[in-house]
């Protein structure tokens, strides 16, 4: 910016550019989260479910075993909470893995 222009525009004095600042913040929404659930059934071996929880949900053996028992007793449990795309991928991975091993294990997702 040239100095003379700067001085002219600043030097005219007065409150001529005082105004109300409108809210220009862009509304940001946190992306929705999705619960991934596994369901109990009478046929999938307990060890297989434990393996699934270790392999796809990063649980250690003790955590995986405990959660498997929760599903076995209660019928269903949340195994993780993720963004839509990650949840979708986890469900697909578990369903594919169960199918390839011919176990009827069911895995679903729902909006939190």
CB of 83 to ligand TYC, least distance (A): 23
Q: Which residue is listed with tokens 């075993």?
A: 65
How far apart are alpha carbons 72 and 68 in whole angstroms?
6
**Residue 46 engages ligand TYC in binding (rule: CB under 6 A):** yes
In angstroms, the CA 48 to CA 63 distance is 14
Q: Which residue has the tokens 């270790």?
A: 54
Measured between alpha carbons, how far is residue 89 from residues 32, 64, 97 in Å? 16, 19, 12
DSSP state of 102: T
Shortest Å distance, C-beta 58 to ligand TYC = 17
Contact call for residue 95 and ligand TYC (CB under 6 A): no
CA neighbours closer than 13 Å in the CB half-sphere of residue 108 = 9
**Region binding ligand TYC by CB under 6 A among candidate stretches 15-23, 34-42, 54-62, 84-92:** 34-42
Q: Does residue number 41 form part of the binding site for ligand TYC (CB under 6 A)?
A: yes
Stretch that binds ligand TYC, among 21-29, 32-40, 54-62, 89-97 (CB under 6 A): 32-40
Q: How far is the CB of 103 from ligand TYC (least distance, A)?
A: 8
Interface positions with ligand TYC (CB under 6 A): 38-42, 44-46, 49, 68, 71-72, 105
């Amino acid at each position: 910016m040239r100095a003379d222009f700067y001085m002219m525009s600043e030097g005219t004095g007065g409150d001529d550019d005082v105004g109300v600042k409108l809210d220009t913040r862009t509304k940001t929404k946190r992306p929705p989260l999705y619960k991934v659930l596994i369901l109990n059934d009478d046929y999938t071996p307990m060890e297989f479910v434990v393996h699934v929880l270790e392999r796809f949900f990063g649980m250690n053996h003790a955590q995986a075993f405990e959660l498997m028992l929760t599903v076995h007793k209660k019928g269903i449990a949340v195994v993780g909470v993720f963004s839509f795309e990650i949840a979708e991928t986890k469900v697909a991975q578990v369903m594919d893995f169960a199918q390839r091993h011919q176990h009827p294990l069911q895995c679903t997702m729902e909006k939190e």
